[in-house]
Amino acid sequence: MNEELEKVQSMYSKLSSELILSGINPLMIAGILCANGVRMYKHNLEESEYRKMMKIVYQEAVKET
């Protein structure tokens, strides 16, 4: 992992832990993170790239294990 990625991961882990310890439901935290991530992808990818990525995410989510 590169240094910047490690820093962001550490910051997110710390914030998540603080939120959980303050009583916030971990599933709410995860949902907000996912929604914000999708918004960031939408704003930073070309429309076709975004749609392709979301199609893959959906297919993986509904795939039976």
Annotated domain spans of the chain? 25-65
pTM recorded for the entire structure: 0.74
Give the mean pLDDT of 35-64.
94
How far, CA to CA in Å, does 14 sit from each of 3, 28, 31? 16, 16, 17
pLDDT band at 63 (very low <50, low <70, confident <90, very high): confident
List the alpha helices (DSSP H) in 1-65.
3-21, 26-44, 47-62
**Beta carbons of 29 and 13 less than 8 angstroms apart:** no
Enter the tokens of residue 24: 């916030």
1 or 56, greater pLDDT? 56
Enter the tokens of residue 8: 């962001």
* pLDDT tens digits along 4-47: 999 999 999 999 999 999 999 999 999 999 999 999 999 999 99
